[in-house]
Structure 1
Amino acid sequence: MRSTQPDQSGRQSRPAARQSRRALIVLLTMVAAMLPWTGAAQAHGTIINPSSRAYQCWKDWGHQHMNPAMQQQDPMCWQAFQANPDTMWNWMSSLRDGLGGNFQARTPDGQLCSNGLSRNNSLNQPGQWKQTNISRSFTVHLYDQASHGADYFRVYVSKNGFNPATQSLGWGNLDFITQTGRYAPSQNISFTVSTSGYTGHHVVFVIWQASHMDQAYMWCSDVNFV
């Protein structure tokens, strides 16, 4: 049997060196998995007000995502980080190409908050997501690092009687509020939405049809109408 001890010159034998390299690779992989991944995220955007679910989790917990206090203080972000931390690191990249405006036909009920992306399925889970207080007239703010511009935005609000804490969102749970016009490329796009008749916890569901190509983004933002 070959020795795995260093030879008399102080150098390791080849099997020992290979084992050391494998151990180093495993260690670096583990460390990399714990660090924020920003590669894909740098090219896109999200609704930062009212905060989309992934953005809220990243904003509140990104710098302390290993903190066990999250499990009690923000259980929905906790389950999301446990399911796939990349969902939060890549809060800008909830996109699909080539939908051709067929959002409802190609996005099943219960998958709206993840934009039909299995890697973001944690965002579909009902529960006590952190809420942004808004009035019946509120501002939607998109941050788009790559300045894609918009063909339009569509804004919906969950119907009265729908409970985001216990129900997954489907198309039949939404009231259509408005569709905007086009917006020129910009890192920051804001527009006002006017509603009436809503109180308490609702979901604001936004679709962004980007202008640079047929690329659609969908998000859920948990709000408290006051």
Structure 2
Amino acid sequence: MRMRSVSRRNVIALVVGMLACLFVWTPTASAHGTIVGPPTRAYQCWQTWGSHHTDPAMQTQDPMCWQAFQANADTMWNWMSALRDGLRGNFQGSTPDGQLCSNALARNNALNTPGAWKMTNVGANFSMHLYDQASHGADYFRVYISKNGFDPTTQRLGWGNLDFILQTGRYAPAKDITFNVQTNGTYRGRHVIFTIWQASHLDQTYMWCSDVNFG
């Protein structure tokens, strides 16, 4: 009887331990999303280096991702988690200059660092693609582009560095949402696309920077 009792306790302990591991290793932010095209800074780093993030070649081939991984690798592992709750549309008042690319999240501060982030080539008119694991939908997206003359390789992005381009309408829940952006054709070379996603299921606001090259 004693042997059976000990065995039963061991089994229970094993099951509890396994369940605890599941809770520990399941990302708390797994049910969110990001702009994957043109990719946000965190997503680009994860997509390029996630499977070999310890490769020393990253330091020379992609130094901005290198510094981000060194600062906090969780920024890339949780590329879908750049959200804040309850801003009630007060985006500018709630997000200081220099913290736009991190959505004012201290854990993601490396995304604000000026430098030669990898760029995606776009034209004057381009499409944007949100991948949302949980299909939240959107009340709207707001899209801004850094002004001509702003240099993201040496300057942190602030609200005064942005041109407002558009605000979309609502989007029904879906894993993939795409929408078109049309510019006046005056942008050339390196710029930052700053996107705000106001999710529909709760008052959750996501903000990201995507680095692009206008041809």
With normalisation by structure 1, the TM-score equals 0.83
Matched with 1:197 is: 186
The whole-number CA distance in structure 2 between the counterparts of 1:186 and 1:38 is 22
* Change over 3 Å in CA distance of 1:38–1:60 after alignment to 2: farther
SS of the residue 1:155 aligns to = strand
Instruction: Write the distance in 2 (CA, Å) between the matches of 1:87 and 1:77.
Output: 10
Which runs of 5 or more structure 2 residues have no equivalent in the other structure?
A: 1-20
Q: In the TM superposition, what whole-angstrom CA distance separates every residue of 1:1-50 from its partner, at most 9, and x where no partner exists?
A: xxxxxxxxxxxxxxxxxxxxxxxxxxxxxxx9xxxx66123210000000
Q: Which amino acid aligns with 2:105?
A: L
Q: Tell me the residue number matched to 1:56.
A: 44
Could you say which residue in structure 1 is the equivalent of 2:118? 130
Q: Check conservation: 1:38, 1:90, Cα contact below 8 A.
A: no
Partner of 1:182: 170
Q: Distance in 2 between matches of 1:51 and 1:40?
A: 22
Two-structure CA RMSD over aligned residues (Å) = 1.1
Q: Distance in 2 between matches of 1:100 and 1:224?
A: 32
The structure 1 segments of at least 4 consecutive aligned residues displaced by more than 6 Å after TM superposition are: none
> In structure 2, how many angstroms separate the alpha carbons of the residues matched to 1:129 and 1:201?
10
Note if contact 1:49-1:142 (Cα within 8 Å) is conserved in structure 2: yes
Please give the TM-score of this superposition, normalised by the length of structure 2. Answer: 0.88
**Matching of residues 90-129 of structure 1 within 5 Å:** 90-129=78-117
Identity %: 73
Unaligned runs of 5+ in 1: 1-31
1:212 paired to 2:201 = yes
Q: Is the 8 A contact 1:38 1:89 kept in 2?
A: no
Alignment-derived partner of residue 169 in structure 1? 157
Query: CA separation in 2, counterparts of 1:49 and 1:40?
Result: 24
* Residue correspondence of structure 1 range 143-154 to structure 2 within 5 A: 143-154=131-142
| Max Rg structure | 1
Q: 2:75 aligns with which of 67, 81, 87?
A: 87
Letter in 1 for 2:75: T
